[in-house]
Copies of this chain bind each other. A is one copy, B any other.
């Protein structure tokens, strides 16, 4: 296959776009595609300072690279969750290596064990019955929101891509979980109660294209799955979607973008969390739907934590 723009050997063939590109042109095409997504969904402007959750994986590092090249003001926040088998250490190392070659780039690192008193595995052991991914998500969202608000950032940015979103959408649709469906969007608006805006600029790009971009840009990212990964479940749904895609090209885009278009037609509530639903946690002040303490604080105080399935972490 040949690059549509210059005829050189293509590095990637994106069938859903009927577009094959060589390495050089892909490296230019991806940021343009992301820029269009940011503008289409009014995610943030070049004048606004945004905070990117950077894990060390391909999506967040590729996104940081893209946003810096596009001229956005994007600082990074890395949370070392203390995950064993060298996973957290290796992740942090990749993030630090990334910034080392980009002078002037600002990175904040939070060491969960060092600053709060326990790692994710330790919290999981304390809270028997609470799954690791649930604790981890809760911790990351809490800290991200806190740092974003403290730092006066306009938005929290995450590296979720189209494949991530359609896997979640399929799960939510199979369960017809209206609450979760209502909260699935490229932009989650801020709440006056103290929740920052959250945006996903990679949401119209496939995992494969992000990986190609990262590799071609020479970004060294962590390849391994987290040892605790619900990897099996996510991989299963991604495989189902790949089968659906093979049968009908563009299924992933249709499923996700069609959802965004149809949601109001279906009468689905918008993603805004009403002020009435949120109040400040009595310990940390962060907004929560739970009475009294937020779910994050309850991890530390020993109060019974409700198992994932309810809203206490999903902001």
Interface size class of A (residues with CB under 8 A): 20 to 34
Q: Is the interface of A mostly helix, strand, loop or mixed?
A: helix
A-B contact pairs, 12 of them (CB 8 A): A174-B251, A174-B258, A175-B255, A176-B255, A176-B261, A176-B262, A181-B266, A236-B247, A240-B244, A266-B267, A267-B268, A267-B269
A154, B174: Cα distance in complex, Å: 33
Please list the 4 inter-chain residue pairs (A to B) with the smallest Cβ-Cβ separation, ordered nearest first: A267-B267, A176-B262, A176-B258, A178-B265
The residues of B that contact A240 with a CB separation of less than 8 Å are 240, 243-244
Chain B residues near A93 (CB, 8 Å)?
none
Q: Which of A178-226 contact B (CB under 8 A)?
A: 178, 181
A228-270 CB mask vs B (1 if < 8 Å, else 0) is: 0000000010001001100100010011001101100111110
Asked if A173 lies at the interface with its beta carbon under 8 angstroms from chain B, I say yes
User: Given the complex, which residues of B lie within 8 Å of A266, measured CB to CB?
Assistant: 176, 178, 181, 266-268
List 15 extra interface pairs beyond A176-B254, A240-B240, A266-B267, CB under 8 A: A174-B254, A174-B258, A175-B254, A175-B258, A176-B255, A176-B259, A176-B266, A178-B265, A178-B266, A240-B243, A266-B266, A266-B268, A267-B267, A267-B268, A267-B269
The residue of chain B having its C-beta at the shortest distance from the C-beta of A248 within the complex is B174
Q: Shortest CB–CB separation between residue A183 and chain B, in angstroms?
A: 13
- A178 partner residues in chain B, CB cutoff 8 A: 262, 265-266
Q: How far is the CA of A258 from the CA of B172 in the complex (A)?
A: 11
Considering the chains assembled together, what is the distance between the CA atoms of A174 and B265 in angstroms? Answer: 15
Which of B174, B258, B262 meets A244, CB within 8 Å? B174
Residues on B with C-beta less than 8 A from A258 are: 174-176
When C-beta atoms are compared, the residue in chain B nearest to A182 turns out to be B266
With a cutoff of 8 Å between Cβ atoms, the chain B residues found around residue A261 in the complex are: 176
CB-CB nearest in chain B for A260: B176
